[in-house]
Amino acid sequence: DSVQAFMSEYINDASPTFGRIFFWVLNQLLFVLIVTTWFTVLFRFLTNGRPTWIAAMRGGILTGVLFTIGKYILRIMLPLSGIGDIYGTSGSIVLIMLFVFYSSFIFYYGACYVKVLSDSRETPIRPIKGTYNYEIKEILKQA
């Protein structure tokens, strides 16, 4: 932020409109980069399996972009929805629950994308040492 404030003085003096648009785009790209990095690290190291860096990065990019799009949709739709009128003082809890739901949904979607991408490229996710390997089987009852 301090670097941005330092740069914005000079750019805004030269062209105020360009400076405002430039720093808005720069902030958005920086946010997407940070969120993408965070999701990539989560997909790579949080689980009991290790996908390749490429699969984790692609999943992180998809999840970061979807998370950013969701942030804007919530920012636009929530003031228009009138949640405060419907729920009163409990509206903030409803908003927190909505954000947690959306974030977990996007995170799960990104994790599934990493799994499908790893399977389709024939670079399976390797389990780390000490994890259990299990298989789901359907058992049919013979009559």
pTM for this predicted structure: 0.76
Model confidence at 92: pLDDT above 70: yes
Q: Which helix (H) or strand (E) holds 50?
A: strand 49-50
Q: What's the angle, vertex CA 138, arms to CA 132 and CA 139, rounded to 5?
A: 110
pLDDT one-digit tens code per residue, 14-37: 777 777 788 888 888 999 999 999
Query: Is the Cα dihedral 111, 116, 117, 122 positive or negative?
Result: positive
| Annotated domain spans of the chain | 2-126
Q: Which helix (H) or strand (E) holds 79?
A: helix 53-81
DSSP 82-120: THHHHHGGGHHHHHHHHHHHHHHHHHHHHHHHHHHHHHH
How many Å apart are CA 128 and CA 39, to the nearest integer?
19
pLDDT band at 87 (very low <50, low <70, confident <90, very high): confident
- Specify the higher pLDDT residue, 109 or 91: 109
Query: Is the Cα dihedral 66, 72, 77, 82 positive or negative?
Result: positive
Length of the chain: 143
Q: What is the pLDDT of residue 1?
A: 62
pLDDT one-digit tens code per residue, 51-71: 999 999 999 999 999 999 988
Q: Which helix (H) or strand (E) holds 126?
A: strand 126-127
